Amino acid sequence: MTIKLHLAVDASSHVLATVITAGQRSDAPVFYEVMNRIRMPRLGGGRPRVRPDYVLADRAYSSRAIREYLRRRQIPHTIPEKRDQAGHRIRRGSAGGRPPGFDRETYARRHKVECRIGLLKQARGVATRYDKLAVRYEATVQLTLIRQSP
């Protein structure tokens, strides 16, 4: 059985939220769960922040519903358009609408997520997944994150 590890990471590579799903499950529906798990503590106390300043996501999270969700929550975002979506939009002509905004320089900062996943998978238990139960694997991931935190 394969798994996917979905992470929300801030600009300084601290993990804000993790979600573990089955490998055959689509990425887009998990986006909402990852966003709902984000809790950033405030410096002076008070309720934690639940709305990030900016979202960078890969092509797997490119959907009209996710972009609308982020617009509704007033979260600026950079998500590249899937190639097939771009083709469908172009084929429809003027009825296809405008392409979503995309900034390559901003998107280049998404490498922090990939670096964090690479660092996380340096732990043997996370990379090889010896745990049979997903709950235990999630605990292994959480313990690894705690051990690797500065």
Q: Hey, CA dihedral for 18, 70, 112, 13, is it positive or negative?
A: negative
Alpha carbons 1 and 81: distance in angstroms, whole number: 29
Q: Give the tokens for residue 86.
A: 């771009």
Overall pTM surpassing 0.85 (yes/no): no
Reported as a single tens digit per residue, the pLDDT across 1-20 is 688 899 999 988 899 999 99
Per the structure, the count of domains in the chain is 1
* CATH number of domain containing 10: 3.30.420
pLDDT in tens, 129-146: 888 888 898 999 999 999
